[in-house]
Structure 1
Amino acid sequence: MSPHPSDIQLDALREVANIGCGHAISALARLVGGRTVNLSVPRAILADATEVADLLGGGEASVVAAKLGMVGPLQGLLLLVLPSEDSAALESLLLRRHDAPLEERESALSETANIVASACLSAIGMLTGWRLLPTVPVLQRGAAGPLLQRAVSETQGDGRVVALETRFDSVGIPAVSGQVLLLLERESSRALLQRLGV
């Protein structure tokens, strides 16, 4: 892959995001009682931390993110990111109560992120023939900017990553929306494209 992925390469990465995130959101739909969860058309971009934060509504947006690493040939991070209000709504749906203690809410959110990430990486694994597993999720709360700055620097020291992004929103009350972000090291992106024959 050249410094700037070609349109054909970006299309291939978008298709990877479509398959992986599609399975991830199906898993999420089952966790929230089988309600319909809509998925946006995924995006694939080469981006720095500011550009990735812009995908989340800007650096000042208050978010909750579950961050998971990847074990296997693909290196990078998977993030399940929700605006703070949507995170609270999802926690209530998962626990079927509004007054659960913080420890229970965070445990439910972490377990959800683990199931969603496992579904995503399993689908990408089926596509590539690779065995891909998520690491233990780490929950982070705060402004999107600093949170993404740390995630991008963990993934790629020089500050630009291949970001695959898909938005989701559930039908019903309370509404829950958020994003699944895959941040890939550029060497991993090259290996993935080579594996796909692109």
Structure 2
Amino acid sequence: MPSDAQLDALREVANIGCGHAANALSRLMGGRKVDLSIPRVVLTRPSDAAGLLGGDAPVVAAWLGIEGGLRGVLLLALPQEDGNALEALLLNGQPAIHQVERDSVVAETANIVASACLSAMGRLTGWRLVPTVPTVRRGSADGVVSDAVGQVEGDASRVVVLEARFLATAAPPVGGQLLLVLERDSIRDLLARLGV
């Protein structure tokens, strides 16, 4: 388990990265205010990570792999109703006729959010961190997290999840979670790069 100083360092990295992600989401949503919780750091088994999203609750999610100095995935997940509200908001209130159109909105949102988050983390660490092409999934939180964590290379018997919740003051409000799931060796590398 990381020490208190290491946990503080990880929280600070998550806070900066997720803060940039929230700003990107705010711009995407026409300048609406996006409130972000203080990120928490969770060391967990992949099978237990789904509990962070509410177990079997239906979600709309997209994840992106991370290329560069870190190995892991960044997951943007919204409860189903919030996902529908986000899609309607970004489609100017017009209902999406085709599933492909709806998935495209979620994928593009995740791409913008992930790019902002990883760019901020890259500036902190000196690494060039690049997201891969997004994968969109709709279904239970269990299934989504299981599939996303399954993409993490290396030792994934224990993963570190940096988790933050966000809420956008849209009408209706749009809320969800950002999860940064990192393989254990990547956490060691990140802590070494941060000097803790």
Residue 157 of structure 1, CA deviation: 5.0
| SS of aligned partner of 1:178 | strand
1:159 aligns with 2:157: yes
Hey, what does 2:31 align to over in structure 1?
Answer: 34
Hey, what does 1:94 align to over in structure 2?
Answer: 90
Hey, what does 2:184 align to over in structure 1?
Answer: 186
Native 8 Å contact 1:64 1:141 kept in 2: yes
Of 46, 49, 58, the match for 1:49: 46
1:11-160 equivalences under 5 Å are 11-57=8-54, 59-101=55-97, 102-155=99-152, 158-160=156-158
Residue 123 of structure 1, CA deviation: 0.1
Q: TM-score scaled by structure 2?
A: 0.95
Q: Which whole-Å CA distance do the structure 2 matches of 1:97 and 1:144 have between them?
A: 26
For structure 2, the residue ranges without an aligned partner over 5 or more in a row are none
Q: Which whole-Å CA distance do the structure 2 matches of 1:6 and 1:154 have between them?
A: 27
For structure 1, the residue ranges without an aligned partner over 5 or more in a row are none
* RMSD of equivalent CA atoms: 1.2
Residue 151 of structure 1, CA deviation: 2.3
Residue 146 of structure 1, CA deviation: 2.2
Q: One-letter code of the match for 1:31?
A: L
Native 8 Å contact 1:29 1:37 kept in 2: yes
Native 8 Å contact 2:156 2:184 kept in 1: no
| SS of aligned partner of 2:157 | coil
Q: One-letter code of the match for 2:92?
A: R
Q: TM-score scaled by structure 1?
A: 0.94
Q: Which whole-Å CA distance do the structure 2 matches of 1:66 and 1:172 have between them?
A: 21
Native 8 Å contact 1:10 1:45 kept in 2: no
Residue 163 of structure 1, CA deviation: 0.3
Native 8 Å contact 2:60 2:137 kept in 1: yes
| SS of aligned partner of 1:104 | helix
